[in-house]
Amino acid sequence: MDEPARIFVELLDVRARAKVMRWLSMLEEKGPALPRPYADVLDGPIRELRVGCGRLAIRLLYFFHGRSIIVVAHGFLKKTRSVSADDILRAHRAHADWLMRYGGKT
């Protein structure tokens, strides 16, 4: 996980953090084949991991680099029906930064 996502996850309570880690393990195992309700495509390469924990709607936005690298751009608690354009833009910026640093196609 990238640092902003790691910090977000570390600030969650123990139960929520454990569930996020299980969902991340499923994502690592299934990759792009991880279905709804666990994951969904948002915009282009940007996807969301959708973790529900009690009343919390936890979202981690991520993208793939090649076939084996998953980059988690950031995480947040979703409070509205849809993911905000600002959150998606933040993930796109992380994606562009990743490509500048490491190159290649996603």
Q: Which domains does the chain have, with CATH numbers?
A: 3-102 (3.30.2310)
> Cα separation of 54 and 27, whole Å?
21
pLDDT of the residue at 49? 97
At 58 the pLDDT is 96
| Residue 74 to residue 24: CA distance in whole angstroms | 13
For the chain, 106 residues long, give each residue's pLDDT as a single digit of tens.
Answer: 448 899 999 999 999 999 999 999 999 999 999 999 999 999 999 999 999 999 999 999 999 998 889 999 999 999 888 999 999 999 999 999 999 988 865 4
Q: What pLDDT sits at residue 9?
A: 94
Please give the DSSP secondary-structure letter assigned to residue 81. Answer: S
Q: Residue 17 in contact with residue 25, Cβ under 8 Å?
A: no
